[in-house]
A and B are shown apart, each in its own frame.
Chain A
Amino acid sequence: DQQVKQNSPSLSVQEGRISILNCDYTNSMFDYFLWYKKYPAEGPTFLISISSIKDKNEDGRFTVFLNKSAKHLSLHIVPSQPGDSAVYFCAASKAAGNKLTFGGGTRVLVKP
């Protein structure tokens, strides 16, 4: 029973356009959400996070949106760059920094 799901295993986007990654969760006790980026042969790198008291958090080209009623979060990357090509994981926890539950990942390919 996956509590955090990323239903799109892959995404292809043209350089300069917007990338939208989606993530759904089932556990209403989750109150802190994170996105990680992972290149091959490296560990995941923290990108951005959001607390359940907010519905949006922005950091440069990256924005995370949280819809608590739908138990859905999304990551927007604008504009997409070739260096953004990686696997992106969403993760959730019941308290900030506590045990993380990850989605299965979405592989993003940004075409020049």
Chain B
Amino acid sequence: DAGITQSPRHKVTETGTPVTLRCHQTENHRYMYWYRQDPGHGLRLIHYSYGVKDTDKGEVSDGYSVSRSKTEDFLLTLESATSSQTSVYFCAIRSEGKVQKTQYFGPGTRLLVL
């Protein structure tokens, strides 16, 4: 358990509405990530952050924005949700061990866009 929580855990919304997902961590990790999981695609990186106010795009960033105003929170926003954004969203942190740096995941948010 890397001390990661995600909220909400489930959400149903309508096309065109904005949605914000929250990732919260308690262990002061510098790196945080947002992924989406879809059948046949594994997990794909949306955005990541390497510090407060420092973020960068991942593989599937179109239609998403992120913000990190404090170390413990990383927010993912769908500005205008579309049905193609129906997915399971996972947040991750990167450990800073000496031997290996591994990503650890939160429990996920299941989003349904109608």
Closest CB in chain A relative to B26 CB, distance in Å: 16
User: Taking the nearest CB of chain A, how far is it from the CB of B10, in angstroms?
Assistant: 10
Segment 51-101 of B: residues with Cβ below 8 Å from A: 58-59, 90, 94-95, 100-101
CB contact under 8 A between A46 and B44, given known A41-B108, A97-B31, A97-B95: no
Count B-side interface residues using an 8 Å CB cutoff: 25
> Which single member of A41, A46, A51, A105 contacts B103 (CB below 8 Å)?
A46
The 4 closest A-B pairs by CB, nearest first: A97-B101, A102-B42, A43-B105, A102-B43
Query: Which B residues lie within 8 Å of A49 (CB)?
Result: 100, 102
Q: Does B107 lie within 8 Å of A97, measured CB to CB?
A: no
A99 CB contacts on chain B under 8 angstroms: 33, 45, 48, 58
Q: How large is the interface on A (under 10, 10 to 19, 20 to 34, 35 or more residues)?
A: 20 to 34
Q: Write the chain A residue with the least CB distance to B97.
A: A97
Q: Which residues of B contact A44 (CB under 8 A)?
A: 43, 90, 105
Q: Which residues of A contact B106 (CB under 8 A)?
A: 43
**Distance A41 CA – B35 CA, assembled complex (angstroms):** 15
Alpha-carbon separation in the docked complex, A6 to B42 (Å): 10
23 sample A-B contacts, Cβ–Cβ < 8 Å, listed by A number: A4-B42, A34-B103, A41-B107, A42-B107, A43-B4, A43-B105, A43-B106, A43-B107, A44-B90, A45-B105, A46-B103, A49-B102, A89-B43, A96-B101, A97-B95, A98-B101, A99-B33, A100-B33, A100-B43, A101-B59, A102-B44, A104-B40, A104-B41
Residues of A within 8 A of B95 (CB): 97
Q: Are A97 and B40 in contact (CB under 8 A)?
A: no
Shortest Cβ distance from A32 into B: residue: B100
**What's the nearest-Cβ distance from chain A to residue B45, in Å?**
6
> A97-B94, A100-B33, A100-B103 provided; 12 other pairs, C-beta below 8 A?
A34-B103, A41-B108, A43-B90, A44-B90, A46-B102, A49-B102, A91-B43, A96-B101, A101-B45, A102-B35, A103-B42, A104-B42
**Which chain A residues numbered 19 to 52 have a C-beta less than 8 Å away from chain B?**
32, 34, 36, 41-46, 49, 51
